[in-house]
Amino acid sequence: MIRLITLIFSIALFVPVMAQAQQDETYDYWQHQREMVRRGQHAIFMC
């Protein structure tokens, strides 16, 4: 009986933690590159 209570308690603790571990939004790895192109710096670096 104690094992069952412990199991239910541990599942109740870990389920919200696993749900929060997911990222809300994926990371944009090319964000800085696009900002450079937008500001015209990329053309200077290519010369």
Mean pLDDT score of the chain? 77
Is the pTM here over 0.75, yes or no? no
pLDDT at position 43 is 72
Sorted by sequence, the CB contacts under 8 Å of residue 45 that are 6+ apart come out as: 36
Could you tell me the residue range of the domain that residue 12 belongs to? Answer: 1-46
pLDDT band at 29 (very low <50, low <70, confident <90, very high): confident
For the chain, what is the domain count? Answer: 1
Size (the chain), residues: 47
- Whether the predicted pLDDT of 4 surpasses 80: yes
3-state helix/strand/coil string of the chain: CHHHHHHHHHHHHHHHHHHHCCCCCCCCCCHHHHHHHHHCHHHHHHC
pLDDT band at 21 (very low <50, low <70, confident <90, very high): low
pLDDT at position 11 is 78
